[in-house]
Amino acid sequence: MAEPAIRKAITVLDMLSRDPETVRLAELRMKQIFDERSMLEGAREEGIKEGIKEGIKEGLYEAAKNLLAIGVDLPTIVKATGLTEEEISKIK
């Protein structure tokens, strides 16, 4: 508390915290910051889920491609990968 700059900052903060409009604006700003952070986190989680889903699908296509290469019949590949016959036909 010996530092003049710290004392001045505390005095200004004390004055601002007594003004209802300043407090209201500060609360609105904090709410906006929290809302933005929440939206970004939600978008990030959704992106991760979508990426995992796409990675799994790519893995299934790769498995189907390898099974086709070794001569496994179409119904067996459908059963093994869960892909449709149409999806597997596109790989051919």
pLDDT value of position 2: 67
| pTM exceeding 0.85 | no
* 13, 7 Cβ separation under 8 angstroms: no
pLDDT (tens digit per residue) in 57-66: 999 999 999 9
C-alpha to C-alpha distance for 90 and 33, rounded to whole angstroms: 47
pLDDT (tens digit per residue) in 5-38: 888 888 888 887 888 888 888 899 999 999 999 9
| Average confidence score pLDDT of the chain | 92
User: How long a stretch of residues is the chain?
Assistant: 92
pLDDT value of position 60: 96
